[in-house]
Chain A
Amino acid sequence: MAELNINGQVIVLDEDGFLEDPDVWNEEIALALAKTEDVEELTEDHWKVINYLREYFAKFGVAPMVRKMCKDTGVDLKTIYVLFPSGPAKGACKIAGLLKPTGCV
């Protein structure tokens, strides 16, 4: 169980490095999580994906279908892997503070 320390606030992460509690997420936390994913800064394209994920998660409680995410954000899968090296499920979802997608993925 790791921890992030952001301006004195302690954020608890699970063993996979995802937020234990998705509700505590904010943009500063996103930046800190990005650093754990070897993403040094979050550009406009990053935020397009992150905000889409946050919105979808707030509505449905899970991560969106990858193909739908790419279509709706206009960011193709190759670019997703460039922006988030661990991919849409393990990289983008982590930084966006979603629960880790599980199953045969």
Chain B
Amino acid sequence: MSESVRIPFLSKDNSHMNLSFVPTEDRPKAAIEILGEMLKYKRSLKLYLDVCTHCGACAEQCHSYLGTKDPYNMPVARVDLVRRVYKKLFAPGHSIFRAWDGAKDIDQETIDLWYKYFYQCNQCRRCAVYCPKGIDTAEVTIAMRELLAHLGLVPKFHAGITKNMKLTGNNMGTPIPAILDGIEFLEEELKDETGLDIPIPVDKKGAEVLFNPSSSDLFTNTDGMMAVAKIFYKAGISWTLSSRITETANFGLFFHEPTLREHNRKLMEAGKELGVKRIVAGECGHGWRTWRMFTDTINGPLPFPVVHLFEEVLEYMKDGRIKFDKSKNPEIVTYHDPCNYSRGGNLIEQPREILRACVENFIEMTPTAQYSFCCGGGSGILMDEAMELRMALGQPKAESVRNTNAKILCAPCAICKAQLPTVMTYHKVDVTVKGLSDLMGRALIL
């Protein structure tokens, strides 16, 4: 496979992540060193390489295999690409036994296959639900993408986003003046729409809540941002954004642990600096998983909790601070569980409770909740050059939605919002994608 036809396109500059390019001929040796290191500090990696029995139960449950029909996209086959090198070089036991287990020397073709197939896994962890051993293939994908990054093999898409994260604290690279300009505009829009002076505070010290939106909420999904402002206003909660971090997503999770840690710490520091009582995470799937599951490991005991917008809204509903008018959302609405909300973040019942309160006609799709299929864009597989792949990855989801005959597909995750409209159009499913904030904003009684 030549360098020029690599999908996704390779980044030419990873210096912001302190990553350099290993010359092609040195890659196999470097890869072995890195893999050896990882096996010493990631128990999940070693266990999963050891414990698989090749039963194939994962194969028919993976949307990547179902959609692309490429046998290497079976979770078991994907991990076997690493396992065969592991068996050759690191696994215990006599070499003849390891040869029977498919041991194979590492070569350039293997590294090419790693890049090709570990960027066809959405890290959705559906396989972990159906694997008898509980093997979480996403852990292997994350580790292997990090290994590839150390070789210099990073998608241009991911490198660009991590650079923006470092420079501006958001994925889009929106600098502070542009953020403030956009916020000012949205406040004007809110006034036009409601007649009320609904603020979107920025860097307000001593506020009760620091809200961390997706940066796309300040670019394309502005309905969501306006809805959040309305909710805080009606609930009478003092809140603020932070100009130094307007990104609840964390692309470091997908392939680069130092970036994961740095971005996570940034949010904690912003919260401490502003002296808030809690941080509320916005509509981002993997961002939620990171904030909920990884934050205290990275930062130690937290000075304040990190909660999700939906948990916050449910508290307001319980207290009677806000009420919804269902009739404002009359269409048939179905709900897409972002992988990292359901399997990754234990946010299954909460969005449903809110939906039942603010739409008239909510129906579940099949499969749903922790069994739901990934949208196909997970782990940042959103680049244009991978469009054909993305449409194949989204095919099982498209079928689930088609069978509901819904008019609105509620998908409360920024990556899903970027991926699903194209997937639905491509597979000819007539549905509009909306965030849950959008639906809440429509139904909120001001």
A residues with a Cβ closer than 8 A to B are 15-16, 60-68, 71, 89-90, 101-105
Does B281 have its Cβ within 8 Å of any Cβ on chain A? no
Interface pair B414/A67, CB less than 8 Å apart: no
CB within 8 A of B284: which of A16, A67, A104? A104
Given contacts A15-B156, A60-B175, contact A103 B181 (CB under 8 A): no
Given contacts A103-B161, A103-B170, A104-B214, contact A61 B219 (CB under 8 A): no
A68 and B185 in contact (CB under 8 A), knowing A103-B170, A104-B284? Answer: yes
Residues in B neighbouring A101, C-beta threshold 8 A: 172, 219
Partner of A102 from B171, B177, B186, B284 at Cβ < 8 Å: B171
Complex contacts, B172 vs chain A, CB 8 Å: 62, 101-103, 105
Say if the beta carbon of B220 comes within 8 Å of chain A.
yes
Measured between beta carbons, the chain A residues less than 8 angstroms from B170 are 103
Residues of B near any A CB (own CB < 8 A): 9, 156-157, 160-161, 164, 170-175, 177-178, 181-182, 185-186, 189, 214-216, 218-220, 222, 249, 284, 382, 384-385, 414-415, 417-418
Given known contacts A65-B185, A104-B418, is B220 in contact with A89 (CB within 8 Å)?
A: yes
16 contacts between A and B (CB under 8 A): A15-B9, A15-B156, A16-B384, A16-B385, A60-B177, A60-B178, A62-B173, A62-B174, A64-B182, A65-B182, A102-B171, A103-B161, A103-B173, A104-B171, A104-B284, A105-B172
List, in ascending order, chain A residues with CB within 8 A of B417's CB: 104
**Contacting residue for B249 out of A15, A90, A104, CB 8 A:** A104
Q: How far is the CA of A57 from the CA of B182 in the complex (A)?
A: 13
Establish whether residues A61 and B216, one from each chain, have CB atoms under 8 Å apart when the complex forms.
no
19 other contacts beyond A60-B175, A68-B185, A105-B219, with CB at 8 A cut-off? A60-B181, A62-B173, A62-B174, A62-B175, A62-B178, A64-B182, A67-B185, A67-B222, A89-B219, A89-B220, A101-B172, A102-B157, A102-B161, A102-B171, A103-B161, A103-B164, A104-B382, A104-B414, A105-B220
Task: Tell me whether chain B's interface is mostly helix, strand or loop, or mixed.
Answer: helix
A76 CA to B174 CA in the complex, in Å?
23
C-alpha spacing A102/B157, complex, angstroms = 7
Q: State how many angstroms separate the Cβ of A21 from the closest Cβ of chain B.
A: 15
B216 contacts A103, CB within 8 Å? yes
Task: Write out the residue numbers on chain B whose beta carbons fall within 8 Å of the beta carbon of A66.
Answer: 219-220, 222
Contact B185 A71, beta carbon cutoff 8 Å: yes
Contact across chains for B215 and A103 when beta carbons are under 8 A apart: yes
B192 to chain A: closest residue by CB: A71
A3–chain B nearest beta-carbon distance, Å: 15
A78 to B67 Cα, complex, angstroms: 31
Instruction: Report whether A65 and B222 are in contact in the complex, using a CB–CB cutoff of 8 Å.
Output: yes
Taken together as a complex, chains A and B put the C-alpha atoms of A21 and B4 apart, in Å, by 21
Q: B185 contacts A105, CB within 8 Å?
A: no
- Of the candidates B9, B160, B385, B415, the one whose C-beta lies within 8 Å of that of A104 is B415
Chain B residues with Cβ below 8 Å from A63 are: 219
Contacts of B284 in A (CB 8 A): 104
Q: A15-B9, A16-B384, A61-B175 are in contact. Are A67 and B189 (CB under 8 A)?
A: yes
CB contact under 8 A between A102 and B222, given known A62-B173, A65-B182: no
Report B-chain residues with C-beta under 8 Å of the C-beta of A62: 172-175, 178
CA A101 to CA B157, docked complex, whole Å: 11
Q: Are the C-beta atoms of B220 and A90 separated by less than 8 Å? A: no
Q: Which residues of A contact B160 (CB under 8 A)?
A: 102
6 residue pairs, one from A and one from B, having the closest CB atoms: A103-B171, A104-B414, A60-B178, A103-B172, A65-B182, A68-B185
Chain B residues positioned under 8 Å from A71 (CB to CB): 185, 189
Q: Which residue in chain A gives the minimum CB-CB distance to B173?
A: A62
Taking the closest CB of chain A, its distance from the CB of B64, in whole angstroms, is 20
- Decide: B219 and A103 in contact? CB cutoff 8 A: yes
In whole Å, how far is B393's beta carbon from the nearest beta carbon of chain A?
16
Which of chain B's residues has its CB closest to A63's CB?
B219
Q: Give the residues in chain A near B175, CB-CB below 8 Å.
A: 60-62
Give Cα A71–Cα B173 distance, bound, in whole angstroms.
23
CB distance from B178 to the nearest CB of A (A): 4
Residues of A within 8 Å of B171, CB to CB, are: 102-104
A68, closest chain B residue (CB): B185
User: Are B418 and A105 in touch, CB under 8 angstroms?
Assistant: yes
Which of A60, A101, A104: most chain B Cβ within 10 A? A104
In the bound complex, what is the Cα–Cα distance between A90 and B387 (angstroms)?
A: 13
Closest to B223 in A: A67
- Report A53 CB to chain B, min CB distance, Å: 13
